[in-house]
Amino acid sequence: MSWNEPGGGKKDPWSGRNDKNDPPDLDEVIRSLQDKLGGIFGGGSKGGIGNGPSMKGVGLLAAGAIVLWGLSGFYTVDEGTRGVVTRFGAYVNTTQPGLNWHIPSPVEQVAVINVEQQRFIEVGYRSGGGQGMGSVPKEAMMLTKDENIVDVRLAVQYQVKDAKDYAFNVLDPASTLKQVTESVQRGVIGRSDMDFVLTEGRSDIVLAVKSEIQAVMDAYKTGILITSVNLQDAQPPEQVQGSFEDAIKAREDKQRLINEAEAYSNDVVPKARGAASRIVQESEGYKEKVIARANGDVSRFSQLLAEYKKAPAVTKQRMYIEAMELVLGRSNNVLVDVKGGNNIMYLPLEKLANKAVEDAAPAPVVSHEPVSLTSQPVKEIKTDVRASSRERDVRGR
């Protein structure tokens, strides 16, 4: 009979229950669940009471749980990091980048540490907040060797070189590094003068601080490698900043004047040395010239003496003629003896030449009129004096 036929009632043919909105029977649900579980583990329900799971089902369930637990021990270590494995808190080993496995928790734990990350600390200032560097006087103020106070700000960059030491030997490596840096920095500044710290000693201070920090951190076995130390700023306290700037300006003026004096010295001294050397060389040359001329005169005199002994009259006449030639050759006056006349023509060539230059006449006029020695010299004569006139030989007839 169909469930919707007349007389069939409201009975559901699949569930065997009436089509009503009644809640399900709790005992029936529990019984159905026990039957399903019993079928899985080899048991069944008898009289509503289960026989319990079989050993085979329990073993399969335990094996599956163990497999899942073991698979949870696989982990990946990225490039640039190291995995520190601990067993119940004790160090076991350090794993390299790649796929690794450890006994799953809670037996073993893995802490992954980045060994290539550049970390840094700030001593004497704070750069956070995007408002520039803010000084921390408690860390920045330091006493120098000459009992002056300077404001020093330092930045230290570091990275992990040993993951095991970094994780186990020091409780807070960053705080330890900061305290060591501040201590070393004060020691280095305390051994230096203020001028050395503020001027040419910055690089030396940085090298000394870096070396001493690394030595202390290695002694503590912190597993930290100091990569760089940067001296951000070194200046006197703000209260004396103006006076210090005046002192710096005075020092710069002093150095400038010293440089100018050295430049002037480098310019004058070589010139003086060159002039002195030139004078010495000229003196040596003059000495050699005088000695050579004296030797030549002696040789000439000796040769002339030998000739004089051979022919005294001829040699005497020749010497007289050469002497007169030498004397008259330097004179600018010319005397012309006219044959058959009583007058001698006198030409003052030197005065005529000076007069010709002063007048600057374009066409010089030469006068051939003789001048008597008894009369006044003609001053109006204009002539062009040539060098050949000085070499003219006038012979009396």
Chain centroid to CA 151: how far?
Answer: 25
Would you call the peptide bond into 106 cis, given omega within 30 degrees of 0 as the criterion? yes
Lowest mean pLDDT among 38-52, 115-129, 184-198, 344-358: 38-52
Q: What is the mean pLDDT of residues 265-291?
A: 93
Angle at 162 between CA 161 and CA 168, to 5 degrees: 135
3-class secondary structure, 388: helix
- The DSSP secondary structure of 91-112, one letter per residue, reads EEEEEPSEEEE-PTTTTEEEEE
How far apart are alpha carbons 226 and 181 in whole angstroms?
A: 11
Q: What is the mean pLDDT of residues 145-152?
A: 89
Lowest mean pLDDT among 243-247, 300-304, 347-351: 347-351
Record the tokens describing residue 83, joined without a space: 């995995």
Longest dimension (CA), the chain: 201
* 338: confidence class by pLDDT, cuts 50, 70, 90: low
Residue 93 forms beta bridges with which residues? Answer: 85
How far apart are alpha carbons 189 and 234 in whole angstroms?
A: 11
* 290: confidence class by pLDDT, cuts 50, 70, 90: very high
Q: What is the mean pLDDT of residues 251-263?
A: 93
- In the chain, the amino acid numbered 27 is D
Is the pTM value of this prediction over 0.75? no
Does 124 have pLDDT greater than 50?
yes
- In the chain, the amino acid numbered 241 is Q
Angle at 217 between CA 175 and CA 190, to 5 degrees: 85
| pLDDT of the residue at 33 | 67
Contact of 156 with 226, CB cutoff 8 Å: yes
- Dihedral, CA atoms, 54, 56, 57, 63, nearest 10 degrees? 150
Residue 80 sits at φ, ψ, to 5 deg, of: 90, 5
| More confident: 137 or 49 | 137
* 284: confidence class by pLDDT, cuts 50, 70, 90: very high
| More confident: 386 or 239 | 239
Contact of 231 with 192, CB cutoff 8 Å: no
Q: Which residues fall within 8 angstroms of residue 291, CB to CB, at 6 or more apart?
A: none
How far apart are alpha carbons 176 and 226 in whole angstroms?
A: 13
Contact of 104 with 70, CB cutoff 8 Å: yes
Question: Of 103, 95, 99, 108, whose CA–CA distance to 70 is shortest?
Answer: 103
Burial (Cβ within 10 Å: 0-12, 13-18, ≥19) of residue 114:
middle
3-class secondary structure, 227: strand
* 273: confidence class by pLDDT, cuts 50, 70, 90: very high
Q: Which residues fall within 8 angstroms of residue 57, CB to CB, at 6 or more apart?
A: 40, 41, 42
Contact of 121 with 99, CB cutoff 8 Å: no
Q: What is the mean pLDDT of residues 13-33?
A: 60
Contact of 231 with 205, CB cutoff 8 Å: yes
| pLDDT of the residue at 397 | 34
Question: Of 129, 133, 89, 94, whose CA–CA distance to 115 is shortest?
Answer: 94
| pLDDT of the residue at 49 | 45
Question: Of 249, 252, 210, whose CA–CA distance to 231 is shortest?
Answer: 210
* 348: confidence class by pLDDT, cuts 50, 70, 90: low
| pLDDT of the residue at 198 | 85
Q: What is the mean pLDDT of residues 222-235?
A: 91
Q: What is the mean pLDDT of residues 307-320?
A: 87
